[in-house]
Amino acid sequence: MAADFSRVRTLIVDDNTYMLTILRTILHGFGIKQIYESRDPAEAFDMVRSDAIDIIITDYQMDILDGLDFVRLVRTADDSPNPLVPIIMLSAYSERSKVMAARDAGVTEFCCKPITAKEMFSKIAAVINEPRPFIRNRHYFGPDRRRNDPDKSTYKGPERRKSRQKAAAKDEGGETEGTKPAQTGS
């Protein structure tokens, strides 16, 4: 069964006109009809505030405001109407540090250039069909950066997080380091 993307509102942010054309052609091929485009991340953020965008596709490296800054703005700005919107980042620079920086900024998916229709389809399908929960803490807001399914994990060793060690021990009626047995009064 083919996916129906006809109602998906997509914003493309890229300062390269040629790349905008390629992406628009690919998205039209998927049946996406509502495509917004911007060569300027600041203008794109205005579009995010004024239009209900379902997916953002942005380039990593742009002048003035780069893709990482744009992603942080969408995720954390006080006037961002949808900080949970899926964001797919495109980059010709695929070294680990760039991918991790994008992940840490709150990118949902990362796609290396040159892009293919098959890869773009898989990224769009992933953000629609397999949304990840969002995490908020002092240093990060965005999709859960862990990709493995805990129910399908092959790791069989001891629990590594202290909070879960304590909970597991409590469930088993035991003690863990830093916990005390319940005291009974007399």
| pLDDT digits 0-9 by tens, 141-168 | 889 877 665 555 566 667 766 666 666 6
Strands (E), 22-103: 34-38, 55-59, 87-91
Helices (H) and strands (E) in the chain, counts: 6, 7
Q: What is the pLDDT of residues 65-100, one digit of tens each?
A: 899 999 999 999 999 999 999 999 999 998 999 999
Q: What is the pLDDT of residues 116-146, one digit of tens each?
A: 999 999 999 999 998 989 989 888 888 987 7
The pLDDT confidence band at residue 60, using thresholds 50, 70 and 90, is: very high
Superfamily the domain 9-143 falls into: Response regulator (3.40.50.2300)
pLDDT at 98: 94
Distance between first and last Cα of the chain: 69
pTM for the complete prediction? 0.78
* 71: CB partners within 8 A, 6+ apart: 58, 87, 89, 102, 105, 106, 107
